[in-house]
Every structure is written in structure tokens, then in C-alpha cells.
């Protein structure tokens, strides 16, 4: 059949949506695609257009014989509509990589369906963390609208640190210029550069990423931390220490702690200013105004203070106010400066660390400029937000003696306190895939928590979520991001239904066996234990880790039943090229998900052992097994780099779970 796609070529996002629709349809059924054709021979003409330029995403899909349309409330919604339609036709986008896509064959009759959708929330996004190649970020950006997301947050003025970690090969001593697995070569992007990654490299990579976002109409969030360092004259694109002593002028505007004005632990990004000093405020305001003026492409500019706590100024003037009152005063000044320059950029302000305590006196003068962002970084991920209980009172604020709330109700008290002072737009910035996910070895638990959390956002008075996360979070699969994206777009979606859909696509006929297996690993693991909460020696956790080892061990027969025997030549080649302990990399499986599951099983066996010994109080064994785990994942990174962030899992298992300290003690 001939399918003609008609659209306004001037709109780059809709043109991209049409290209995507044409490409996927031509892979699903025998057809010829005409882009903006005028011939009369087409069997189906589909028009792609918008009826307005609303902020809220919604679309209507109407397909019948001869004619059809995808009509969006804005250009991005047309693209969201295209991907939603493809999903309805059976396409699955289960990972941020085209090699995992599932594109079914369909007949013409399947095309003819009609429905409309409106997004449940306006803020649906993710924020870059971890270590990433340019290709990793581009794959992620490409994936976002396929799941219903509409935003991406590139932290700092340039996301230098997240790219540099990959290109400078942090936490992985090996290089792999010529590593070819038997089952296809390691991806071309899996080649960390030997020359140091520069800020200029990051600037040019950022331009490529932002252009990919613009092509998809994704909302760009920028900066966050870094303004305090910037006001002091530092570049602030990483949590880097500075050795140079501050000048007198710099000292004057820096927070005073124990009678001294200096960088906090040498890190500008973690240093607060003396916000009662008008020169500190002026410098801060100018830094933001200049940046916003130079970057009209930014939709949401995040204005955050230092990324550490108990380090606010103790001078006599600052003591007359609270950090949050000083923050609101600063935000009002920024708003006035932007308004004077006719800059419309939305500003995101942050409830985090001492700023969790609501302001006492100050209020935002122009609430429409602002978006509230609640960041419960210290929360537990063992359970979802509990809205059924009466909230405890907010503890009194004690300057430089705060402790962070881990309880879910305590966290909600702070949010509610702020909501009494501000009723504008808002979202949660949450951390399911920030650290906690490494404690969930099956990823079913953390996905369920994300689903339950999202379904409570409305009641919490929040308009969406940005997930602060590792982008390479696919061990054993990418269910968490899949659930988040789809549920943020449609809060009515059943979690169990999404799991079934995902596993059927990934694992085929044995999907229920895999659900049972990974659910069991999830039940036995602990996000809190991995996050360093509770004692390290813990007999009940030791028992659970032992059970994890047994479960993973026994699953080998199922995985092996999905292994495809190689021809002798290929087998020889595979076994010589791939590293030791390599069944997952050296053999073929009937889908890339089974191959990944085989790798994941080895990962669970090695990490599980290290955690078991730690929980059992056997520090030397824990340390040795953590080293064996790291050796293995470092060697295997070229084969599975899109699924596991070796930099980050090393940091979390080492510093947060505590395995590094044990190895130093042992």
C-alpha cells in the first residue's frame, strides 16, 4: 500500500515525527511511504499537525481507510502521538538502544484505530547523572518521547562532569580499543578516549545533545547547583576542589563558618554565600541574568544553592533570617532582573537540605515565574509515600545542626510546609534510579515503588516528576524507566500490566519464569542496605543474600535453554576473544535480553557474595569478593556498557554500601 504523510515542513519537530512514523510503518507492513506527496494514488493519507501551542501535552489519533490524522496540542505532542500510536500497534521500545526494539509485522487492517490521550502530568523527565558517552546520552534522548517523557535535565551550565567520567575512564582501569565479542563487536562508542576530556569537548557535545532534544521538542532544564561557585568566579561544572586561596573580595561574599570565610571543604559548588551581603546577592543575580539572556533555549532554569548542608553563613546579619527566607529574597531579586530584561525563562527552586524548612516571612512576588521542586534525597525506597498517616510537625530549624529526614511522612511534612506558602506549578525530583536501584537486584521492586509514587503525586499536590538518575540503568533490564515514563503520561496504567507487557516483549514465551525469578531477587535485596542505612553487619541481610546467591545459581538452566549453539568456527573465535567467565558475552542467545540476563546473573553472583560477607561480618572476604566483582564488571564493560554504569555502581557499592571502607580495613 501507499501511505502519504502530510505536514508542515517548517516545523522541525513535526517533520521528525513524520520521518519516525514513516520509518516504523515501513518496517511493520509492506508499504511505500510518501512524505508530503501530492499524488492521488495513496491508499492512506495521514496528516500530522497541531491545533495550538499549549504547554499541556495531548493528542488525538484518528485513522480510517483513505484518511487519518495525528493532531497534537503542540509539536512535541504530535511526536508523542506517533510513538503512542506505534506502541498501540505493538511496537515496544524497552531500552535506550535501537538494538532492543521490537517491531512486529502487522496487516493493513490493524492501522485503523482512533483514540485521544492527555498527559496526566506536565513535568515528565529525567536528569543526567553517572558516567555517559555522547552516544549514551543521545540514545537516552531518543528514547524519552517513546515512553511519553517530555523533558531532559542537563545538570550544570555544561554537563561536563557526567561526560568526563566516561571519557576519562573513571573507576575502570581497562581500555578496550579492539574488543570484539563473538556476538557482535563491542559498540563503537565503547571507546573511552586516552586524552583527557576538556570543557571544550563537553561544550561541543552539549550542542549535539541539545540539538537532538530540540528535534524532538523536549523541554530543556539546565544548571541547578553551581551558581554559588560561579558568583565566586569558579567555572563550577563539577564537584571539583580548588586549591587557590580566595581573594579578599571573594572571602567577603562567602559564608562565614566558625568565624572563617572560605570554600567549604575546598569545593566551590558546595560552598554557600553570605546572602545578607548585598554584593553577594548582586553577583548571584547577575550570574543568573547573564546566563538566562545568553540561553533562550533553556525552558526551566534551576536556581539551587550549595550542594552540601550545615554550611550556611553564621554572621550576625545572616542569623537574623533563615536560609529559606534569604533564598526567597534572592529569587525575587532574580525575577525582577529577568522581568526588566523581558526574559520569560521559568525558574525552578529547590526544597533540599536546609531549604526543606519553609520560609518564615518572605514570599515569592511573582509566583507564575517559578516552579517548586521537592527533592527528598534522604528518603527510603523500601516503601512508597504514605499519605494515610497524620504528618508529624516539622522539627525546629537549627542553624548548621540539621539532620535530614529519611521517613516518608517527615519528608512530606516539609513539602506541605512549603505548599502553605506557594501554590504554583511544582514537581518532585526523585532518586529511584540514583543510588537505591543498585540494592534492588531484580528491578521489580524499585519499578513498583516508582509506579506507586507517581500515582500519589496528584494527591501530594505535585505536577510530575524528574528522575535524577544514572542513564545507563538496565541491570537486569530497563523496566524502571519504562514504568516511570508510561505512568507519568498515564497515571491510570496498571503496574502489573506494564510488567507483563515489558517482559513478554523482552523474554518471549518464558516471560513469567523471568518475572518470578527477578521478583524473588527484588524481594530479597534491599535499597536501604545498599544506600548505607542501618548496620553493615546484619544477620538477617546475610541470610537474604545467601538466598539471592542460591536463586541466581539455580536459574542457570533456564538461561542456558535460551543459548543458541554457535558454529564451530564462531565458537572458537568467541571463546578466544571474550574475557574469562564470559558465557554471556561469548555466546549467542535468542534475544539480547537473554544475553543481558546471563551477564546479570554473573553480576548478582559476584556482588551478592561481597554483600553476603559484609552482612555476615567477614570483612576480608567481603573485600576480596568486591574486588573480584569490580574486576569482572570492568572487563565486561565494553560488552554491556549501555546497561551498567561501572563508574557509578563502583561508587555506590564502595562508598555508600561501605565495601570500600571494609577493603581498606581488611
To Zn ion, the closest distance from the beta carbon of 228 in angstroms equals 13
To Zn ion, the closest distance from the beta carbon of 267 in angstroms equals 19
**Could you tell me which of 625, 660, 623, 438 has the C-alpha nearest to residue 531?**
438
**Could you tell me which of 551, 557, 517, 545 has the C-alpha nearest to residue 625?**
545
Residue 254 cell numbers, joined: 562567602
To Zn ion, the closest distance from the beta carbon of 276 in angstroms equals 5
To Zn ion, the closest distance from the beta carbon of 322 in angstroms equals 12
Residue with cell 513498583: 448
Residue 87 cell numbers, joined: 506502541
State the Cα–Cα distance between residues 341 and 333, nearest whole angstrom: 13
Query: Does position 493 bind Zn ion by CB under 5 A?
Result: no
To Zn ion, the closest distance from the beta carbon of 254 in angstroms equals 9
Identity of the residue, 134 or 274, whose beta carbon is nearer to Zn ion in the bound complex: 274
Residue with cell 555508600: 656
Identity of the residue, 279 or 620, whose beta carbon is nearer to Zn ion in the bound complex: 279
Identity of the residue, 313 or 585, whose beta carbon is nearer to Zn ion in the bound complex: 313
Residues 6+ apart with CB under 8 A from 13: 75, 76, 78, 79, 214, 215, 216, 217
To Zn ion, the closest distance from the beta carbon of 255 in angstroms equals 6
Identity of the residue, 311 or 411, whose beta carbon is nearer to Zn ion in the bound complex: 311
Beta bridge partners of 370: 347
To Zn ion, the closest distance from the beta carbon of 319 in angstroms equals 8
Residues from 229 through 288 that contact Zn ion (CB under 5 A): 274, 276
Residues 373, 350: contact at Cβ < 8 Å? yes
To Zn ion, the closest distance from the beta carbon of 623 in angstroms equals 45
Beta bridge partners of 59: 72, 117
Identity of the residue, 313 or 646, whose beta carbon is nearer to Zn ion in the bound complex: 313
Identity of the residue, 51 or 319, whose beta carbon is nearer to Zn ion in the bound complex: 319
Residues 529, 439: contact at Cβ < 8 Å? yes
Total residues at interface with Zn ion (CB under 5 A)? 5
Burial 143-165 (b: 16+ CB within 10 A, else e): bbbbbbbbbbbbbbbbbbbbbbb
Cβ atoms within 10 A of the Cβ of 177, count?
Answer: 10
**Interaction mask 301-330, Zn ion, x per CB under 5 A:** ------------x-x--x------------
Residues 180, 577: contact at Cβ < 8 Å? yes
Identity of the residue, 257 or 287, whose beta carbon is nearer to Zn ion in the bound complex: 257
To Zn ion, the closest distance from the beta carbon of 275 in angstroms equals 7
To Zn ion, the closest distance from the beta carbon of 312 in angstroms equals 8
The 3-class secondary structure across 68-88, one letter per residue, is EEEEECCHHHHHHHHHHHHHH
In the chain, what's the furthest Cα-to-Cα distance? 82
Identity of the residue, 313 or 610, whose beta carbon is nearer to Zn ion in the bound complex: 313
Identity of the residue, 276 or 546, whose beta carbon is nearer to Zn ion in the bound complex: 276
**Cα Rg of the chain, angstroms:** 26
Identity of the residue, 56 or 361, whose beta carbon is nearer to Zn ion in the bound complex: 361
Backbone angles phi, psi at 94, to 5 degrees: -85, 0
Binding site for Zn ion (CB under 5 A): 274, 276, 313, 315, 318
Amino acid at each position: 500500500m501507499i501511505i502519504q504523510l502530510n505536514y508542515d515542513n517548517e516545523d522541525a519537530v513535526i517533520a521528525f515525527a513524520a520521518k519516525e512514523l514513516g520509518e516504523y510503518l515501513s518496517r511493520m507492513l509492506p508499504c511505500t511511504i510518501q512524505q508530503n506527496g501530492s499524488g492521488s494514488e495513496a491508499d492512506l493519507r495521514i496528516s500530522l499537525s497541531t491545533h495550538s501551542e499549549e504547554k499541556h501535552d495531548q493528542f488525538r489519533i484518528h485513522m480510517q481507510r483513505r484518511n487519518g490524522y495525528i493532531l497534537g496540542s503542540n509539536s512535541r505532542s504530535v511526536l508523542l502521538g506517533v510513538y503512542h500510536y506505534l506502541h498501540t500497534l505493538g511496537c515496544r521500545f524497552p531500552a535506550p538502544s535501537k538494538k532492543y526494539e521490537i517491531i512486529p509485522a502487522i496487516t493493513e487492517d490493524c492501522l485503523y484505530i482512533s483514540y485521544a490521550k492527555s498527559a496526566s502530568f506536565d513535568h515528565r523527565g529525567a536528569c543526567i547523572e553517572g558516567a555517559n558517552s555522547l552516544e549514551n546520552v543521545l540514545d537516552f534522548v531518543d528514547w524519552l518521547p517513546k515512553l511519553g517523557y517530555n523533558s531532559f535535565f542537563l545538570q550544570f551550565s555544561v554537563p561536563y562532569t557526567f561526560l568526563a567520567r566516561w571519557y576519562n575512564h573513571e573507576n575502570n582501569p581497562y581500555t578496550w580499543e579492539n574488543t570484539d565479542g563473538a556476538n557482535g563487536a563491542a559498540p563503537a562508542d565503547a571507546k573511552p578516549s586516552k586524552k583527557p576530556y576538556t570543557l571544550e569537548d563537553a561544550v561541543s557535545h552539549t550542542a549535539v545533545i541539545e540539538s537532538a532534544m530540540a528535534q524532538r521538542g523536549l523541554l530543556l532544564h539546565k544548571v541547578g547547583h553551581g551558581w554559588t561557585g560561579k558568583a565566586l568566579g569558579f567555572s563550577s561544572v563539577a564537584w571539583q576542589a580548588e586549591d587557590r586561596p580566595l581573594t579578599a573580595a571573594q572571602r567577603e561574599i562567602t559564608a562565614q563558618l566558625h568565624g572563617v570565610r572560605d570554600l567549604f571543604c575546598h569545593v566551590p559548588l558546595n560552598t554557600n554565600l553570605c546572602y545578607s551581603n548585598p554584593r553577594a546577592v548582586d553577583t548571584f543575580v547577575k550570574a543568573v541574568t547573564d546566563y538566562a539572556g545568553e540561553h533562550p533555549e533553556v525552558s526551566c532554569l534551576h536556581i539551587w544553592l550549595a550542594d552540601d548542608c550545615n554550611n550556611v553563613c553564621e554572621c550576625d546579619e545572616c542569623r537574623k533570617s533563615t536560609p529559606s527566607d534569604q533564598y526567597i529574597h534572592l529569587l525575587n531579586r532574580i525575577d525582577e532582573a529577568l522581568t526588566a530584561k523581558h526574559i520569560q525563562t521559568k525558574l525552578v527552586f529547590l526544597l533540599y537540605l536546609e531549604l526543606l524548612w519553609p520560609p518564615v516571612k518572605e514570599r515569592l512576588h511573582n509566583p507564575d515565574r517559578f516552579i517548586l521542586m521537592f527533592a527528598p534525597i534522604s528518603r527510603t525506597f523500601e516503601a512508597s509515600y504514605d499519605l494515610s498517616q497524620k504528618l508529624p510537625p516539622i522539627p525546629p530549624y537549627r542553624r548548621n545542626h540539621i539532620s535530614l529526614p529519611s521517613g516518608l511522612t517527615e519528608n512530606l511534612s516539609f513539602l506541605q510546609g512549603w505548599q502553605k506558602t506557594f501554590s504554583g506549578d511544582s514537581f518532585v525530583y526523585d532518586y529511584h534510579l540514583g543510588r537505591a536501584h543498585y540494592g534492588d537486584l531484580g528491578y521489580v521492586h524499585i519499578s513498583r515503588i516508582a509506579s506507586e509514587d507517581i500515582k500519589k503525586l496528584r494527591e501530594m499536590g505535585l505536577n510530575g516528576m524528574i528522575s535524577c538518575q544514572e542513564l545507563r540503568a538496565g541491570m537486569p533490564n530497563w523496566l524502571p524507566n519504562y514504568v516511570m515514563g508510561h505512568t507519568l503520561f498515564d497515571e491510570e496504567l496498571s503496574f502489573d500490566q506494564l510488567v507483563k507487557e515489558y517482559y513478554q516483549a523482552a523474554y518471549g514465551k518464558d516471560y513469567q519464569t523471568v518475572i518470578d525469578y527477578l521478583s524473588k531477587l527484588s524481594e530479597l535485596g534491599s535499597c536501604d542496605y545498599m544506600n548505607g542505612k542501618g548496620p553493615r553487619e546484619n544477620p538477617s541481610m546475610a541470610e537474604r543474600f545467601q538466598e539471592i546467591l542460591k536463586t541466581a545459581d539455580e536459574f542457570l538452566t533456564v538461561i542456558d535453554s535460551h543459548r543458541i549453539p554457535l558454529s564451530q568456527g564462531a565458537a572458537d573465535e568467541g571463546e578466544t576473544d571474550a574475557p574469562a567467565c564470559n558465557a554471556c558475552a561469548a555466546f549467542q542467545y535468542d534475544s539480547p535480553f537473554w544475553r543481558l540476563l546471563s551477564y546479570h546473573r554473573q553480576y548478582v553472583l559476584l556482588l551478592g557474595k561481597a554483600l553476603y560477607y559484609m552482612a555476615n561480618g567477614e570483612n576480608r572476604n567481603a573485600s576480596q569478593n568486591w574486588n573480584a566483582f569490580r574486576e569482572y564488571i570492568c572487563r565486561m564493560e565494553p560488552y554491556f556498557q549501555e546497561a551498567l554504569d561501572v563508574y557509578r555502581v563502583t561508587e555506590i557499592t564502595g562508598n555508600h554500601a561501605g565495601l570500600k571502607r571494609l577493603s581498606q580495613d581488611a
